[in-house]
Amino acid sequence: MSTRDVPAQAGGLPPVGRPANSTRLQAGVTFLAEAALLGRRKLVAMHGIGPKFVRLLDAAALERGLTFEP
């Protein structure tokens, strides 16, 4: 699946750059709740996902009443 085929804010996820978007798609993360279940440490450990994307996810999760796994 190409990241060109995915809407910028699919599944409540904030818009991000191509590397982070590709990595999250390869990991099967299509919804914000799935990212929250993975947790910050697992997300940052993925190639292409950095602290900035995790901060964006955290802010989006807080807006929706979700919390990240420790």
Question: Which of 37, 41, 42, 43 has the alpha carbon at shortest distance from 67?
Answer: 37
Cα distances from 63 to residues 24, 31, 66, in angstroms, run 20, 14, 8
Per-residue tens of pLDDT for the chain, all 70 residues: 555 554 455 678 888 888 888 888 888 898 999 999 998 899 999 998 999 989 999 899 999 998 887 6
pLDDT at 17: 84
* Annotation: CATH topology of 17-70: DNA polymerase; domain 1 (1.10.150)
